[in-house]
Each structure stands twice: as structure tokens, then as C-alpha cells.
Structure 1
Amino acid sequence: MTIDVILPCLDEAAALPWILERMPPGYTAIVADNGSTDGSAELAAGLGARVVHEPVRGFGAACHAGLLAATADVVCFMDADASLDPRQLPRVTEPVLAGTADLVLGRRMPRTRAAWPAHARLGNAVLARNLRRRTGAPLHDLGPMRACSRAGLIALGLTDRRFGYPLEMVLRASSAGWRVAEVEVDYLARSGRSKVTGTVRGTLRAVADMRRVLAG
């Protein structure tokens, strides 16, 4: 069985070789390029990944473009910055394939202090707590490594195209009666500087997007 792995990408040329060479057998990379200027798209294509271009800027826009381009029954999402190891993708897909969960998120377990700055960890913890209260889903992290049914996710009709996309996915899945679960995955120091967790400003922007989705 083939599983498509959607990698939203904006200037990740330094990380892509490590990520793409570690894709497990049966997992196909779809790099959703969001306007990279460092040759990420060309590099990914040269390394055998399928590349789709999304001109509208936004994390959710790139994720959704990759979703619409996917053809496998089960899809995964993960960041393209080498902070997550593709070899651990089977951890998040196994419950979906076994039929014991409909949406599985990877709960990030930092392996170094530098992997997850305090301001980013705090913002994530607050959002996860609010999400648990609202949905009852046993989540402690809005982790970017996740797996679910492609057709099911498209049917949820996600509309956010910014950093609220991952949160909207959980909210709509929970409202639709999906079984939501999480498994532990390693969280590594990313390649280069994060556009979100690397700065307080980036974290606040992501948190603001997610709060907007929670209030909607």
C-alpha cells in the first residue's frame, strides 16, 4: 500500500535531501512548494519527489495543495525542515491502517533543548489544553506529523489557509466524530531557522491564527 506524505515547503533546500532519503518504503513524498527562492522545488524534483506549486502564500495553502494532489487512500503531513524523522511515519500511520483511529498526530518529544524553544512550547501547550477542553480529544501537542484518510480529510472541507489549518483539521475531525489519537515521535533541532518557532513573532502569529480558528 502506498502512502502519500505531504511536505509544505518554503525555502527548505538545506533539509530536503535528509528528509527525502529517509522516506520509508511505500511512502511517496509530495513537496508542496509555497514560493521558494532557494531552489527547493528543483532539488526535490531531482531527488525523486513529486512537486506541486502553490502560489498563494500560507502554510495551510501549501498543505491543502498537497492534499488535493495526493492520490493515496492514506495521507501524512510533516514539516520539511528536518525537525521530524520520516522513518517514524509508520508510528502515526499504523493506527489509521489498523482501523483503531481516524486521525493520528505525532506528539513531539524534544531530543535537545534547542529543538523546541520555550516560547513555542508554551504557546503549543496552551492551545492543546484549550483543544482538549473543547473536543475531549486526548491531545497534548498540535504536532505537524499526522496521518488520516485522504478522502475523509477532503470531505471535512477545511477553509483556513494559514497557520490555523492544523488546528481546524482537528476541530472538524472531532466534530465529525473521528477518533483522534496521538503517538510519540522524536523532535529534532531543525535545519536552518524556523519561520514559526524560531522567533517570538512567528510563534505569536501562529498562535493568533489558531485562536482565530478556535473562536470561529
Structure 2
Amino acid sequence: MNVTAVIPTINEEGTIGSVIDGLLKSVEGIEIIVVDTDSTDRTKEIAAAKGAIVINESKRGYGTAYKTGLKRAKGDLIVCMDGDNTYPTDIVKPLLEIIWMDEVNFISCDRMTLRTQHNYTSLHYIGNSILNFTMRLLFKITLNDSQSGMWIFYREFYEKMKNLSNGMSFSEDIKIDAVRLGKLIEVPIKYGIRISKPKLKTWNDGFMNLFHLFIKRIQE
């Protein structure tokens, strides 16, 4: 089956090349789509030189970037991950084999199980735990890492999903729909140490994601 990787970026010139190289090494013939949200560095040039399809998305939003890239994806299977080299590329091929053999629809990578203080701080752990608990309370969905940003799924499965957020809450929404529509499993990964400037605003984005869960529950 054909595979497409979709990577949202903003100012990732120090890491995007390594991410693309890792994906190309892990999966032969993989299509790589980089959705760049107006980087001011050389992210787009490096990605294009490595053979990625580069799409410029001027509208900000984590979910918006993914939706833009997923519309262009040609692969039967989709790999989604960040461009900051915190998610491991060498695990992609084994994950693809799992989703083929185990007849699951969606794999979400779990950063919490193998976390350390170096790659995942106590503050992030507490925040993620609160969001995990809230998702379980409101939607009866139990996940170790509801905020993970690395997933593998079938494109046709994604196309069944509705009303996904345009912001950071896209990560929550896609997992909720995955559980409701099919079979989701989590696979522990070793999360890397970020070397580029974080795009996540810990307190603001954390509260927004929490608020989003309550609004989503009320609207349903």
C-alpha cells in the first residue's frame, strides 16, 4: 500500500531535513507532504531539496495545517508527525506493519509510558494527565496520551471523520472520532528532546484543549 507522511512546520530548518531523511530511510517510496505556515527561515527550501511536496498554508492553526496536507495526500496509509524531530522516524515501518497485520484503523503514539524528565517535563505530564482524565470522564475514552502528535491511520478512515478542530484540539478530536468509528491502539514511543523553539504555549493551549473537550461534549 502507498504511504504518505504529512508534517506541519513553522521555522524547523534545524530538524526538518533529519525528519525527512529518516522517513525516506524507514519507508521506501513514501510520499512526504510538508505544510508550512509561513516559516521565516529555510524550512521550505530544505524540505523541497529533500524531495518533499511543500505546501504553504498562510492560515495559522494546527488542525488547519493537517487538513490542508491530508487533502493532498495520495497514500492509502497516512503518517502524521511533527517536524521538530521529537518523534522517532525509525518506528514508522514497524507501526505500518502493526496496522496492516492487527486490523486496526488508527495507531496513536504514546509519549507518557516511556517518558523521562529530560524529554517530557512534570508540568506537561500533569497537564496531559488532566486532559486524559477529562476525556475519560466526558467521552468514556481511556488513553495514556490524548495529546500525542504522531499517528498512523488509513486515509479512507480519516475521510469518515467530521467536525475536527482547526486548532491544537485537532489532536483530541481525531482520537475521539477514531475510537468511535473503529479501532484505535496506542504504542509507546521514546519521545525526543526538542532542540527548536517550542510552538506550543503550554498554559494557553492546555486550557484551550480542556475547554474544547467540554464544549464538544455540550454540542453533542
TM-score by length of 1: 0.89
Task: State the shift of 1:48 in Å.
Answer: 0.8
- Tell me what 2:47 maps to: 44
1:65 aligns with 2:64: no
Letter in 1 for 2:209: M
1:25 aligns with 2:27: yes
1:78 aligns with 2:81: yes
Letter in 2 for 1:132: R
How many Å separate the matches in 2 of 1:52 and 1:157?
A: 23
Task: State the shift of 1:110 in Å.
Answer: 5.1
Percent of aligned positions that are identical? 22
Secondary structure, aligned partner of 1:170 = helix
Structure 2: where are the runs of 5+ without partners?
none
How many Å separate the matches in 1 of 2:192 and 2:139?
A: 29
Task: State the shift of 1:69 in Å.
Answer: 1.1
- Tell me what 2:174 maps to: 169
Q: How many residues align?
A: 210
How many Å separate the matches in 2 of 1:75 and 1:185?
A: 18
- Tell me what 2:162 maps to: 157
- Tell me what 1:199 maps to: none
Secondary structure, aligned partner of 1:63 = helix
Q: Against the structure 1 CA distance between its residues 93 and 127, is the aligned structure 2 distance closer, same or farther, given a 3 Å change threshold?
A: farther
How many Å separate the matches in 1 of 2:36 and 2:116?
A: 28
1:195 aligns with 2:204: no
Structure 2 matches for 1:72-151, cutoff 5 A? 72-108=75-111, 109=113, 112-142=116-146, 143-151=148-156
TM-score by length of 2: 0.87
Point out the more displaced range, 206-215 or 163-172: 206-215
How many Å separate the matches in 2 of 1:175 and 1:25?
A: 29
Task: State the shift of 1:204 in Å.
Answer: 1.7
